[in-house]
Structure 1
Amino acid sequence: MPTQELAPPNANYGIFSDWDKSLKRWFTNSYKTELKNVHIDHVLNGTTCQPISLKEFQFFLQNKEHSAENLDFYFWYLGYKKRFEKLSEDEKAKSPPPKERPSPGIIYNNPNKANKDDKQVAEEQEKQNQLIEQQPFREEIEAIILTFFHEDSFKELNLDSYLSRYVTYYSQQTTHPDIFEDVHQHIYNILKTSSFPNFIHHATQNIRYTFYVIEYAGVFFNLLHIPVVLYYTYSHHMSRWYRLSLFWFCFFFSTSLLSGRAGFCTIRGFANFRQVPLYEFSEYKVERGTVEKFIKNGPVGLPLQLQEQQLLPEQDAEKTGKKKKKKSLTEILDPEVLKYGRQMWWHIIIAGIIFSAVVTIIGVSITNEYDVPPAPPMPP
């Protein structure tokens, strides 16, 4: 089992700290958001809440990265190892551990039988097959090989070829969990270094991609008004104080720009709500014979038929429409995400105030209101 390296506890989120990370998120496309006190093991152990719970992580892998087989294999191995360790010593002896660890460049073939006649080979093979069939969990291991290591399986793991050859070869000889140890470590590293950072980056956003259009529309609208205000007040020699309106246009321009870059709506962030990502919102799952749909309260929702029974009776069209709109929002419950959201909210607001104040001060300080306007041209 991979060694758990939990993040250092109680790292603080301050209003005046981590500005370098916020700037990277706003202006660097390759930067991935990090949560200080959250590690991959927290998610895998089920100690986090939505929007970074294990169920959301599963939805992300299944519908965003299309690599849910990694999580399936990870938990299967943990469960299988526990079940194998609970066997009696006699049962364990039927499945000895492999004689070697996987290594690149080694070709795993059947042992050389050139000095044996066909009858002797057949007898030894029959005895070997009988012993193999008596091994614990033999059918399960064969099913796992077909599911995660066969090239025609849609859940085939993304492994180096030598790892696949090693597991395929030794799984025909033993069912000991050690044959999957290196594969499990490899999958854990993929989840830790690739999938988990991408998941946190998306989970800390509280808007869907369709809402980006609204944010950038606000950017364009307010940016267009800044030169208009400057041109109109200067061309008409108006009082400098008319240019105080620059503050609000600059403020909404900068906050909309930073919100769009971070995928963080300040209004929803202030209320601790987020828009459910499309890869979660349309998720269906089969559990205990009923089809359940993701709704407002999170991944575990009411059965679809139960929803219809609760919404339709004694509800007019207006109330039903309101309920349907609320389903696209979900409350943020994880305390670390809430801390990060508050920090990002303050960073956006403070950055917007500073930028707006600088532009407004410059605009107000430069004035031509006391200049004599040029005389109108004389008629010929």
Structure 2
Amino acid sequence: MVYSLAYRRPSYVTPSRDSLSGDEKQKSINDSIKSCSSCMSGGIPEALSFDRIVSSGVCPPCTVRDFMNYLKYIEHSAENLQFFLWYRDYCARWEKLPESQKVLSSVWSVQQAESDASGNATRQKRLEPHIAAVLKDTEFADGSLRPPSDKADPFGTPEKSSVDEKRDGVSEYGSSTGDEKTWASSNDHKSTASQAFDDAGMKWKPFTTQPYRSEVDRIISIYIAEDSPRELNLSDTERKSVLHALQHTTHPSAFHIAITSVEYTLRRQGHPNFIRWTICNGNRPRVVFARGLGVAGIMAGLVADLLITLSRASRPWRVLPFLAWFIGIATLIAAWKGMCVVLHGLHHRHLRPWELFSDDPEEVTNEKYMSMESLTSESTNSYEDEPWIARYGKRNIIRKVFDREIWIREPALRQIQDTIFLQAIVGGFVLSCIFVGIFCAVPRGKFY
């Protein structure tokens, strides 16, 4: 079964430089979700939708693991998917909290942020000149009545010790696992988060009694703070808005601006580009080689028809080069769309360079890529030092053309490739008939 012959694979989406508002991004996300309910959206079938991929509802090579590898090695933006997966898990864990914990962190809204900002401005305006002179160069110089960073919070609740946090199952994710390294570095995360607040001009420090406060500090130090290991591509205004919200609450709504920007990029750019890239069943050397074979077949048909036309042979002989025309054009059309017809005949694909040197390229499970240990790791997404870089660079071009192959397990992807293959066959047949017909219409040359 194939799709319509009018099928077109997803177009490549370049990073957008247009500054859309949060509402516009959210509307675009909602439209994307609605369009996924249709049979085909932008060249992407429902079976390969973004939500099915991140929910582990597809087979290789379209799994969340493959998506993560694509973003890491090709688009260099794996932090978007990492943060998205962490946030989704965070929301699920938040819903399981008891109400006594949830009330400590209220829902955050844009209206609340505007109200808080206007309240600060009002307090600053009401500050008398002689009081402002006294408070100059102090923590209260901005007119805020909030406590200094080195003082206790206004509720007088002392900060929890690391032992207390370990006993509290909701103060940080993974406390029940006994991971000592996480707790040993908690102070570093708090320091980094505090520095991020200071850099944003926010001197008031968040309350430590809120659920998941330590984990939120860790996420700030990894994804939100400037120059963090996996810094998200947020504007200065967006970053300050997120930090401002996280000062007040650890409710998932505090991440609304960041997650909206991340999800917009994933749905509108990362996901379509990933599907387009995955449709290609051969590596670049193999695709270039296939294009060369297509051109060679076309040239062979052209030369053969020219020689026959210029000779004394009758017109029926000019039909013989049809096979060369057909094979050449069909191969070139498929290769132009990133497919090798030989690999497609076997429903195989080439292994990616980072998969080549593993005994079992599918041994790494999706759970590893979706675990909190990987999503909250302080390591960067840089891969320049990975061993496969040097080893793959040493492979000669012939070996790359005939690299290891593996079977494509995802039925929806095979269906797309079958459609492209049928388009190549039909296109090759039609164009071959046209070119051969032109040569048959030309009178004999009788040169030899």
**TM-score normalised by structure 2 residue count:** 0.63
Structure 1 segment 20-99 matched on structure 2, within 5 A: 21=8, 34-37=43-46, 38-98=48-108
Which range moved further: 55-64 or 91-100? Answer: 91-100
Q: Does 1:330 align with 2:406?
A: yes
Inter-partner Cα distance in structure 2 for 1:360 and 1:351: 14
After superposition, the Cα gap between the structure-2 partners of 1:282 and 1:330, relative to the gap in structure 1 and judged at 3 Å, is: closer
Give the Cα–Cα distance (whole angstroms) in 1 for the partners of residues 81 and 273 of structure 2.
15
Structure 2 CA distance, aligned partners of 1:30 and 1:166? 28
**Deviation of 1:244 (Å):** 2.6
> Could you tell me which residue of structure 1 aligns to residue 430 of structure 2?
354
Q: Deviation string for 1:274-298 (max 9, x for gaps)?
A: 11233x4268xxxxxxxxx474546
* One-letter identity of the residue aligned with 1:149: I
Counterpart AA for 2:2? Y
For residue 347 of structure 1, give the secondary structure of its aligned residue in structure 2.
helix
C-alpha distance in 2 between matches for 1:198 and 1:227: 36
SS of equivalent to 2:321:
helix
Is the deviation greater in 151-160 or in 212-221? 212-221
| CA deviation after TM superposition for structure 1 residue 235, in Å | 3.2
In the alignment, the residues of structure 2 paired with residue 282 and residue 130 of structure 1 have an alpha-carbon distance, to the nearest angstrom, of 58
Residues 1:29 and 1:173: Cα distance change in structure 2 (over 3 Å): closer
* Residues in 1 aligned to 2:73 and 2:232: alpha-carbon distance in whole angstroms: 16
Q: Which residues in structure 2 correspond to 1:1-380 (within 5 Å)?
A: 13-14=2-3, 17-19=4-6, 21=8, 34-37=43-46, 38-98=48-108, 100-101=110-111, 112=123, 114=127, 125-128=151-154, 131=157, 132-278=207-353, 280-281=354-355, 293=358, 295-297=360-362, 299-300=364-365, 328-368=404-444
Look up the SS of the partner of 1:128 in the other structure. coil
Structure 2: which 5+ residue stretches go unaligned?
A: 15-40, 158-206, 367-399
Corresponding residue number in structure 2 for 1:309: none
- Residue by residue over 1:289-342, the C-alpha shift from the partner in whole angstroms, topping out at 9 and shown as x without a partner, is xxxx474546549xxxxxxxxxxxxxxxxxxxxxx9997212111121121121
Partner amino acid for 1:228? V
User: Which secondary structure state, in structure 1, belongs to the residue aligned with residue 45 of structure 2?
Assistant: coil
The aligned residue for residue 21 of structure 2 is: none
Deviation at 1:35, TM superposition (A): 2.5
CA pair 210-255 structure 1, distance change in 2 beyond 3 A: same
Out of 236-245 and 69-78, give the one that drifted further.
236-245
Asked if 1 retains the 8 angstrom alpha-carbon contact of 2:334 and 2:341, the reply is yes
Alpha-carbon offset, residue 193 of structure 1: 0.7
Note the C-alpha offset of 1:108.
Answer: 9.3
Letter in 2 for 1:128: P
Question: Following the alignment from structure 2 to structure 1, what is the Cα–Cα distance between the partners of residues 213 and 287?
Answer: 52
Give the partner amino acid of 2:317.
Answer: Y
TM-score (norm 1): 0.73
| Alpha carbons 1:52, 1:203 under 8 Å: kept | yes
Amino acid at match of 1:126: A
User: 1:122 and 1:207, CA in 2 relative to 1: closer, same or farther beyond 3 A?
Assistant: closer
Q: 1:121 to 1:81 in 2, by over 3 A?
A: closer
Inter-partner Cα distance in structure 1 for 2:252 and 2:55: 21
Match of 2:381 in 1: none
Q: Deviation of residue 210 (structure 1)? A: 0.8
SS of 2:105's equivalent in the other structure is coil
- In structure 2, what is the Cα distance between the partners aligned to 1:268 and 1:123? 66
- 1:150-177 CA deviation, whole Å, 9 max, x = no partner? 1111311112332211111222232222
SS state at 1:274 partner: strand
Deviates more, 1:348-357 or 1:91-100: 91-100
Identity %: 21
Query: Given the superposition, is the C-alpha separation of residues 135 and 234 from structure 1 closer, same or farther in structure 2, using an over 3 Å criterion?
Result: closer
